[in-house]
Amino acid sequence: MIKQCAIIFGCLFVGEIVVFITGIKIPASIIGMLLLTGLLKLKFVKLRQVQAISEFFVSNISFFFHSSRRGNNVIF
- DSSP of 5-59, one letter per residue? HHHHHHHHHHHHHHHHHH--SS-HHHHHHHHHHHHHHTTSS-HHHHHHHHHHHHH
Residue 20: the pLDDT is 95
24: left (phi over 0), alpha (psi -120 to 50) or beta: beta
Helical pair 2-22 and 47-59, crossing angle rounded to 10 deg: 90
Residue 69: the pLDDT is 53
DSSP 1: -
Residue 54: the pLDDT is 87
Residue 68: the pLDDT is 52
Residue 40: the pLDDT is 94
Residue 8: the pLDDT is 92
pLDDT along the chain (76 residues), means of 10: 91 95 93 94 93 88 65 53
